[in-house]
Amino acid sequence: MPATPSTSAGPFPHRRLVPALLAAGAVGLVLFAAVALQVVTGSALSVYDPTATAHAVGLRRPWLTQVAWVVTHLGGTTGLTLLTLLCCAVLAVRGRRLQAGVLAATMAGSAVLTMLLKLAFGRERPSVSLLLGQPSSSFAFPSGHSFNTAVLVGALAGVVLLSGAPRARKAVAVLAAVVAALLVGLSRVYLAYHWTTDVLAGWSLAVAWLSLVAVTVLTARGRREARAERGRTQE
C-alpha cells in the first residue's frame, strides 16, 4: 500500500519491489504447501506437534498465562476487527482513503481464506484437557489468529516502508510487526488452541497473501502513474 513516491527516486520507484515481492510470495506459498503436506500425511514437523505442545504446557506460569490471554485476544476476531477499523479510520482521516480501502479488503480476504482453509483441512485441535479457556468450534489448520494478525501488522508495516518515513521508523515498524506476529502465534500454542504447525502455516500464508496484495497494489499504482505521465507528455 504505497504512499506518494518521492520524485528524487525517479518515476515509479516502487515498481522495482515487484520481483522481490513475487519471490517472497512464492516462498511463503511453498512453505505453506510444505507444512500442509506434512500435516495431511502426519510426517516431518507435524510429528513433533504433541511434543511442542507439551513443552509449552510445561512453561505455564500464572503471570505468563495472563500475558498470553491479552495477546491472544488482540489477535482474535473481535480484537483484529476493532484494530482494523481503527487503522482504516486513521488512514482515512489523514487523506489516505485508498490505503484504508486496501487494508480493509486485505483483512476481509484473509478472513475468508481462513474459513475456507479450515474447512478444507478439517484438522482437530489439541486435546481440551490441555486447553486454557473455552473450546473453539472451528478447526485448527491454519491458525487464524496467527495468519490474520501477521496480515494486519504486515500491512501496516508496509504502509510505513513504502512511505517517506526515516529509516529508523521503518526499522521499528518492521520489528514491531514481527514481534506482534510472533507473540500472537506463540500464545496460541501456549494456550493449547493450536499445534505449532498450525501457527507456522498461518505465518507462511500471511507472507504469500501480503505479497500478492502488495504486487497488485503496486502494479495498479504503476499503471496509473504511467498513464498520467503519458498524459503530461502529450500536453
Whether residue 73 lies in the annotated active site: no
CB 2 within 8 A of CB 104: no
- Which of the residues 14, 55, 73, 145 is marked catalytic? 145
Cell numbers for 108:
476481509
Peptide bond into 13 cis (omega under 30): no
End-to-end CA distance of the chain: 30
DSSP structural state of residue 133: S
- Which of the residues 14, 55, 73, 194 is marked catalytic? 194
CB 144 within 8 A of CB 114: yes
DSSP structural state of residue 96: -
Residues 6+ apart with CB under 8 A from 94: none
For residue 200, with 0-12 CB atoms within 10 Å meaning exposed, 13-18 middle and 19 or more buried, which class applies?
Answer: buried
Whether residue 14 lies in the annotated active site: no
Q: Catalytic site residues?
A: 145, 194
